Structure 1
Amino acid sequence: MSETVTSNLPSAYDPKQTEAKWYDYWLKGEYFKAGSDQRKKPFTIVIPPPNVTGNLHIGHALNNTLQDILIRFKRMQGFDALWLPGMDHAGIATQARVEAKLREQGISRHDLGREKFLDVVWKWKEEYADNIARQWRKMGISVDYSRERFTLDEGLSVAVKEVFVRLYEKGLIYRGKYIINWDPVARTALSDIEVIYKEVKGALYHLKYPLKDGSGYIRVATTRPETMLGDTAVAVHPEDERYQHLIGKTVLLPITGREIPIIADEYVDPEFGSGAVKITPAHDPNDFEVGNRHKLPQILVMDETGKMNELAGKYQGMDRFDCRKQIVEDLKQSGHLIEIEEHVHSVGHSERSGAVVEPYLSTQWFVAMKPLAKRAIEVQKSGRGVRFVPERFEKIYLHWIENVRDWCISRQLWWGHRIPAWYCDSCGEMTVARDEPKACPKCQGTSLRQDEDVLDTWFSSALWPFSTLGWPQETEDLKRYYPTDVLVTGYDIIYFWVARMIFSALEFTNRIPFRDVLITGLVRDAEGRKMSKSLGNGVDPMDVIEKYGADAMRYMLSTGCTPGNDQRFRWERVEAARNFANKIWNASRFALMHLEGIKAEDLKLTCPFSTADQWIMHRLNETIAEVTRLLDRYDFGEAGRALYNFIWDEFCDWYIEFAKLPLYGEDEEAKRVTRSVLVYVLDQALRLLHPMMPFITEEIWQHLPVKGESITVADWPKADDSYANAEAVKEMQVLIEAIRAVRNIRAEMEVAPKHQVELLVRPDADVTPAFERNEAAIKRLGGVSHLTVDPALPRPEKTMTAVITGAELFLPLAGLVDVGQTIERLNAELKKLNAEVERVEKKLANPGFVNKAPAHVVEGERKKGEEYREKREKVLARLRELQG
């Protein structure tokens, strides 16, 4: 960049004109690429890989922004900062999207066959991966594209096979027949955490199960009568006195007449329903366990589409919910239905398809979780585990992992990592191997079939922090950048992903995968609702960028969040962030107007400093320390607010105003000092703001007379205690209070800006020098024609007064306003305010209004009343002064 200012900024900041330009500049300069200096300490983030199912949403924008703030911050602090990008193949979700697209064309994946279908999905992946990459660029994220990964790329596929084989050889992966969550629409197994539970209004059906000996019946309650066709027992609690005499007897299953036993098991809750429950081992996970304990048959009465199968007898071919209705009708007719009770209960739904999940007996692959979880729990409780931010999420993580069940990892899909298991057609032997075997190890037969299923997407995602760095090879990247430093992710995938990464990393690398986990909340709509397609309340980050620019979106998102908490998206907050960018732009334009032809070496921070110079350097020093501290603790919102207060309130609104005196004056030395301070503070402020607003800061920084190629790799500011000056701060606070008080009086009295006023000051002894040293600033910024500073000043008559820290201010009314006209105007305003106060009070005293009107309307009237009374007090105070 040029070290001499030769041109001014355009009159208005246009993000569209600058953002693409600077991103290309950064890529060309390879500023995002890690590893150029091995002497630097590494700092690593691996991106939570977005699914290649569609475009990025506003939640991705938040997550990416926070990661980018951290990586830019650490890069500027001198770390070898690696932010590794990548994407997830998202098995179920992606296949579902592609199949839906094929259905629009009137074909299915089965029409194409596996290989041709996978070709279609790969084309889909390329299209959406390109879209995501373009969106990353638009957002300005500084990832190292040279290290980009995909969960189905060759290296990660090797890692997945290695993990599968090792776990299988240790007995931690097994194949068995168990109750799993089945999605009858997607026709695949789901893990427990892919099931979303919703409260549903249903019914509790009370049925008669007749005793075989004809002595009566036992009353059974169920929410799913269609599964009774697969009942193999009725269970009661062994200590329930009501049923002691029935244990060991036999009942006849209604409709079918099949004999089933009455058994005793502690699983049964005597308080629920009748205290007797039907046991259907093939259609309920708890019944499955009961069935195993009592060696009961397992009768599966549905197929994988959710329809009744041949074991359902006359109901074969019926949809499960249609079957329910028919069975209830048949039970009525046969006299076996006692009553139907309304019942609200929690029903599992597939996260992907929305279908009601069916507990289903199926042969699947599982990971035995207890041994893996045991080590993760020990490490966490020993203090050597991952640090959760906020720390309350550690309890959530531990609660899940302490109660974890075996993980069903097989999926009946075509898109994903194929399970590395082969079956011999000759002898039935199963072989699990890293590479396809050439012959069966048992019979040497060569007719081998690979398992049709693929692995759960989260199986490969669980390896992400180390597989992306080259594991199982001991690569240079793995040695240098692992474990990673921080993971930024939402609280909604602590179970899905965070926990699985931790136990996988401990098992295969013997280390935690990241030191910190920063948990973010969701971005909700303005009403606090979760964004969804069904509500139509989603926000496309590209629309936000198109309208306001990436910097405004980034600043709004980062300052709107606190770790672990949700935030609401409001367009007015984006507009406020855009206004902040404009404020910085305009302040920078002013500075550059006074720097034409100035070189970096012309600027030296040497005395004499003015009060304003000393104050802004002190406040800059405090802001550097505060922002650095806040970013180190991931408090982005407070860091952004600290920068806003410093840049807008102090630098733009006050320092620049004070700087105009020397810059427009005749003292060349004062001009030089002011230019030096102006450039130094602006340079440092832009560096502090750069991680949040990278584009505008780069654009302005490139125009400043400072050394360096890009603000992206400029040094992060460091606090310098030599600039601490409490006296200057105190003096400046007095001046600001005084000028603000004069301006307020002028506004209230409606004094025209061009009209000069007289100001009399009665200061305490310790603040007298502040007024004397800064007379010119007070006059210029307060519109003051004549300033009198006298600690012994008697209280003047007919003045407007203000009390500030250490002084009283008096503005003589003579020549300030026409007292008579002003009193007349204020009396007229008082009359209006009295009427409004009376109107509101009458309204709020009316029970009909208070009790019937919506709460927000009543509250609105209360607030109006408070505002009117407050305004009335101000008018009365001014009248007292004018009439006194």
Structure 2
Amino acid sequence: MEKTFQPDAIEHKWYQEWESQGYFAPSGEGTPYSIMIPPPNVTGSLHMGHGFQDTIMDALIRYHRMQGCDTLWQPGTDHAGIATQMVVERQLEAQGIKRHDIGRDAFVDKVWEWKAQSGGTITSQLRRLGASLDWSRERFTMDPGLSDAVQKVFIDLYNEGLIYRGQRLVNWDPKLHTAVSDLEVLNEEEQGSLWHFRYPISGTNDFLVVATTRPETMLGDTAVAVNPNDERYRHLVGQTIDLPLCDRSIPIIADDYVDQEFGTGCVKITPAHDFNDYEVGKRHNLPIINVFTDNAAINSSAPNCYQGLDRFDARARIVADLEALGLVEKIEPHTLKVPRGDRSGVVIEPYLTDQWYVDAKKLAIPAIAAVENGDIEFVPKQWENTYFAWMRDIQDWCISRQLWWGHRIPAWYDQGGKVYVGSTEAAVRAQHQLDDSVVLRQDDDVLDTWFSSALWTFSTLGWPSETAELQRYHPTSVLVTGFDIIFFWVARMIMMTLHFKREVPFKTVYVHGLVRDAEGQKMSKSKGNVLDPIDLIDGIDLESLVSKRTAGMMQPQKAKAIEKATRKHFPDGIPSYGTDALRYTFYSLASTGRDIRFDLGRIEGYRNFCNKIWNASRYVMTQCENVDLNGARELGDAERWIQGRLHQTLKHLENSMAHYRFDHASQSLYEFFWNDYCDWYLEFSKPVLWDDNASGARKRGTYHTLVSVLEAALRMLHPFMPFITEEIWQRAAPLLGEHKTSIMLASYPQITDFEAAAPAVNESIECVQALIGATRTLRSDMNLSPGQALPAVLFSEQPSTVQAVRANESLLIKLAKLDSISWAESKSDIPASASLIAGDIELCIPLAGLIDVEQEVARIGKRIEQLTKEIARIDGKLGNPNFADKAPADVVTKEKEKLSAYQTELGKMQEQLESVKALK
């Protein structure tokens, strides 16, 4: 083995080996275990959320593969309608070409060309992450098989009356000219204004004051609403308002929607441009007046003087005109949530359009029942409440998008607007006996990307054909997803799969949190806190990092913010941490919380863990590579203890994996390998291996335990750290006669493979550990050389404890560097010494002749003086009201923690001083 661990030297090599040998494919044997990857956008690149989620899935797949399951991890990408169309449009615009210049068919051809050349970025990055997907089965939501499935589902749902076309409000992107889903709308706080306008009451000199953040929408007002219980306005209900600037009257209505405590208690109702107002309008049969074009300019339904103006230009004109009429009560600064398109960045408008909808209420009934009766389980269970809340209040699903890239809706219209749905125009003509005199035009819209991904678990396995894969791997075992798409994807998969397959899509939904930065902030380019998993794996210098993160991605001021943040965290660039360290960091953070704070300190710590694994393994290989491990083996308590610890770790690991507690699993593995195996057992083995008087069987037992426990630990770690474990296992396994070609094909260790240690063995080793720790503490406290052999006097009133220590007394002497051990019959037999209590036993080190008493008294006295002064200073500080009441809470807490630490140390120093003085 190389002297130092170099992840880049092994990661590419092993991944190419695994993939080329077909190790990721299902074995066809054992219990089926399948996971469908949440398909990333074909335009995308790996971000921290992907990295976290995909390492979770890979651990599950590798774990079950090694347990003998027939595992399938299905890969694939989503065609990402809006994102992909934008990418190709930008490329064309760079050449001076607009998509309308070349037409729909040619544009779609350009998209396919782009996908062939550049659409594989994220799949190559998933490989870099070590993801063991069966790439031979990779699917794409626009490939022919999945497209056929999408078309069949649309047609079948339409024929069943569960898909219809209707006019409703949608989230409209005025730049992209399409409806968008709620998930594609970012609602972030921005500073705006709240305008208070006077609306004259018809036939009077009175007026009502209404407040709005969108003055331009008043052109579409069709009522003013008040709360029916509001005594101030109850007498006005039924009267009308003369809508300013519009030369029409609108009614004053009463509706419980109005919060009488907010503002003036009067609300303008604009059903065509506000989702809440739309519902009020339906309840009161109000007219719905759309005053926007699809560009969010003012249309012909508004007065002539505003027609053609952009919405924000119209806003300024309207406010000015109302001020001139004396109808502006006041204008206040106001912080509000502004909805912006996550792709376009423009303000999204509620907009009245004709769209295609799925009757989600009917499909939701069996989907709710599937979770209620336990056919599908959410982990953590509390996410079921979120699912139920959404599903029981579900609205019909808008599935059409005004794009060119995507699954085009299989619907045709004749000259009279009658709609015909079928797989092709020829099929429609044949079904409805339409001759060539009837001109048909196909619907220009495409289906929402979520529509095709809702079929993902079964369409990827060959549906609508009843393939062997569909029968074997469906329902899938688990879905791993973030809580933010429980409604957008999880619920829709459940609805569609139950409807078309009459079975659930998955048995478990493991819901994880969202990865944020160390301060809990959402990672975003504008904040400059985005981390790229590949940068963390391979490392990148500062100049390349800043260039990569800023080139063509954002405005100059945002680019500067990123550079500043980058230099703060990585003044010299990002070091290479390697894939295994990054993966283990993700597992350590995979708790049941809503948010996951990515702490760079952790990845540094787990890179050190990789180094620890490498160095320990290198030591074992060096010791054992030329040793014959066959033959009789004699085990000591240390060997029985480490195997018992392995047994306990496996029990804990099995329970953690069953409950999706990857944080617990990774922690137990870390503690076993670092603490039990490296820090203790490797040290326990040395006195035996270096003892010329030890028998061959005794040494062979130690050699075999060193290798066998290491080899088992590597298999236990493999699902979490695939690369380093494969590299070392290739050297360790042959020593034990293992001839598998890869650790991936080896069996996962079972609890029954290792026996639990007898209680007496555990007690003996734990006593030895405690006494070794106590000896090291006394050496440090008394300023004694680490290599100096010390006499020790032990005392315990518990016979079982005495017996436990005596069983491994020779081990204690060697590892604690003692020259002798004697036992005191009573407390009075203990000479003047430094002592510590370790469990039921007192360790005493007689100091006579070991230290210069006068010099040690002076040293301890000096430290006592320093501590006394510091304690007095902090006491005074905390007792000063100017500090205690005015300083930040975290500063006060730190001072209190310092005080407590100093007081503890002072007590120890005073005890040491008394012990040393007793030697005079």
Q: TM-score range by the shorter chain?
A: over 0.9
Q: Show CA shifts across 1:244-292 (max 9, x none).
A: 6655555432112124445555655555555554443322334434444
Q: Deviations over 1:129-163 (max 9, x none)?
A: 42212211211111111111111111111111111
Matched residue count:
869
Give the superposition deviation at 1:514: 0.8
The worse-fitting range, judged by mean Cα deviation, of 806-815 and 637-646 is 806-815
Distance 1:266 1:817 in 2: 86
Amino acid at match of 1:83: W
Instruction: Point out which structure has higher relative CO (alpha carbons under 8 A, 6+ apart).
Output: 1
Change (3 A) 1:800 1:287: closer
Which residue does 1:617 correspond to in 2? 643
Percent identity of the aligned residues?
47
Q: Find the counterpart in structure 1 of residue 666 from structure 2.
A: 640
* Mapping 1:229-308, distance limit 5 Å: 229-236=219-226, 249-263=239-253, 267-268=257-258, 273-292=263-282, 294-308=284-298
Task: Establish whether residue 718 from structure 1 lines up as the match of residue 746 from structure 2.
Answer: no
When normalised by structure 2's length, the TM-score is 0.90
The SS at the match of 2:592 is coil
Deviations 1:698-720 (A, max 9, x none): 11111011312211121111113
Native 8 Å contact 1:204 1:340 kept in 2: yes
- Offset of residue 570 of structure 1: 2.0
- Letter of the 2:244 partner, please give it: P
Q: CA deviation at 1:295?
A: 4.7
Alignment-derived partner of residue 115 in structure 1: 105
Partner of 1:495: 487
1:376 corresponding residue in structure 2: 367
**Structure 1's 171 and 744: CA in aligned 2 closer, same or farther, altered over 3 A?**
same
* Compared CA separation, residues 119 and 810, structure 1 to 2 (3 A): same
- Measured in 1, the distance between the counterparts of 2:639 and 2:530 equals 47
Do 1:771 and 1:789's aligned partners in 2 also have CA atoms closer than 8 Å? no
Q: 1:756-835 to 2 correspondence within 5 Å? A: 756-763=789-796, 764-789=798-823, 791=825, 794-835=828-869
Task: Specify the alignment match of 2:528 in structure 1.
Answer: 536
Cα deviations by residue, 1:557-585 (Å, 9 ceiling, x for unpaired): 10122034322222221111011111111
Structural mapping, 1:132-281, within 5 Å:
132-214=122-204, 216-236=206-226, 249-263=239-253, 267-268=257-258, 273-281=263-271
| Structure 1 residue 850: Cα displacement | 3.3
Match of 2:86 among 92, 96, 112: 96
Distance 2:237 2:906 in 1: 83
Alignment CA distance shift 1:37-1:191 (3 Å): closer
Counterpart of 1:429 in structure 2: which amino acid? K
Matched, 1:691 2:719: yes
Match of 1:5 in 2: none
| Superposed counterparts of 1:545-694, under 5 Å | 545-546=537-538, 547-598=576-627, 602-603=629-630, 608-666=634-692, 667-694=695-722
Conservation of the 8 A alpha-carbon contact between 2:765 and 2:808: no
Tell me how far apart the structure 2 counterparts of residues 385 and 517 of structure 1 sit (CA, whole Å): 11
Aligned Cα RMSD in Å?
Answer: 2.4
Q: What is the CA deviation profile of residues 345-394 of structure 1, one whole-angstrom value per residue up to 9, with x for unaligned ones?
A: 4443333333222111111111111111122123322x234211111111
Conservation of the 8 A alpha-carbon contact between 1:369 and 1:407: yes
Matched residue, 1:728: 761
Distance 1:439 1:714 in 2: 56
The equivalent of 2:896 in structure 1 is 862
Q: Counterpart of 2:308 in 1: which secondary structure? A: coil
CA contact (8 A) 2:643 2:755 kept: no
In terms of mean alpha carbon deviation, does 557-566 or 161-170 score higher? Answer: 557-566
Conservation of the 8 A alpha-carbon contact between 1:210 and 1:216? yes
Give the CA deviation at 1:538.
Answer: 0.7
CA–CA distance in structure 1, aligned partners of residues 903 and 169 of structure 2: 68
Distance 1:170 1:787 in 2: 87
Q: Deviations over 1:534-572 (max 9, x none)?
A: 101011111111111101011111012203432222222
Tell me how far apart the structure 2 counterparts of residues 37 and 242 of structure 1 sit (CA, whole Å).
Answer: 75
SS in structure 2 opposite 1:505?
Answer: helix
Partners of 1:415 and 1:48 in 2: CA distance: 20
Aligned to 2:358: 367
Deviation string 1:297-320 (CA, Å, 9 cap, x unpaired) is: 432211111111233221122221
Are 1:130 and 2:163 matched, yes or no?
Answer: no
Partner deviation per Cα, 1:720-758 (whole Å, 9 max, x = no partner): 374431110011001111111112212222322332111
* 2:770 corresponds to 1:744: no
Equivalent-residue separation in structure 1 for 2:476 and 2:623 (angstroms): 46
Deviations 1:401-442 (A, max 9, x none): 1111111111111121111112234x5432211233366436
Equivalents in 2 of 1:84, 1:840: separation in Å? Answer: 61
Q: Which residue is 1:57 aligned to?
A: 47
Q: Kindly provide the amino acid, as one letter, of the partner of residue 130 in structure 1.
A: G
For the 8 Å contact 1:738–1:804, the answer to whether it is kept is yes
Asked if residue 431 in structure 1 is aligned to residue 465 in structure 2, the reply is no
Report the counterpart of residue 2 of structure 2 in structure 1: 10
Determine if contact 2:633/2:700 at 8 Å carries over to the other structure: no
- In the other structure, the counterpart of 1:454 is 446
1:398 alignment partner in structure 2: 388
Alignment-derived partner of residue 315 in structure 1: 306
Q: Secondary structure in 1 aligned to 2:290?
A: coil
Contact persistence 1:53–1:90 (CA under 8 A):
yes
Q: Give the TM-score, by structure 1 length.
A: 0.93
1:334 aligns with 2:368: no
Structure 2 unmatched ranges of 5 or more: 539-575
1:355 to 334, 346, 349: 346
Could you tell me which residue of structure 2 aligns to residue 23 of structure 1?
15
Aligned pair in 2 of structure 1 residues 343, 15: CA closer, same or farther (>3 Å)? closer
For residues 611-655 of structure 1, give each alpha carbon's deviation from its aligned partner in whole angstroms, at most 9, with x where no partner exists. 101111111111111111111111111111111111111111111
2:620–2:707: 8 Å Cα contact kept in structure 1?
yes
**Compared CA separation, residues 375 and 797, structure 1 to 2 (3 A):** same
Residue 845 of structure 1 deviates from its aligned partner by 2.8
- Contact 1:414 1:453 (C-alpha < 8 Å) held by counterparts: yes
Q: Counterpart of 1:647 in structure 2: which amino acid?
A: F
* CA distance 1:719–1:603, shift in 2 (3 Å): farther
